[in-house]
Amino acid sequence: MVVGILSIKVVMRSSRSLKDKRRIIKSLKDRIRNKFNVSVSETDEQDNHKCSNIGVAMVGTDRQYVNSSLSSLINSFRLFPQIELVDYELDLI
- Give the CATH number of domain 2-92: 3.30.70.1120
Q: Are 49 and 16 contacting, i.e. CB atoms less than 8 angstroms apart?
A: yes
pLDDT of residue 13: 87
In degrees, rounded to 5, the angle at the alpha carbon of residue 8 between the alpha carbons of residues 40 and 70 is 65
State the Cα–Cα distance between residues 33 and 86, nearest whole angstrom.
21
pLDDT of residue 48: 87
The mean of the pLDDT values for the chain is 91
State the Cα–Cα distance between residues 70 and 76, nearest whole angstrom.
10
Neighbours of 4 (CB within 10 A): 23
Q: Are 53 and 9 contacting, i.e. CB atoms less than 8 angstroms apart?
A: yes
In tens, the pLDDT along 19-49 reads 989 999 999 999 999 898 899 999 988 888 8
Domain ranges of the chain: 2-92
Contacts of residue 10, Cβ cutoff 8 Å, sequence gap at least 6: 51, 52, 53, 54, 77, 83, 84, 85, 86
pLDDT of residue 49: 87
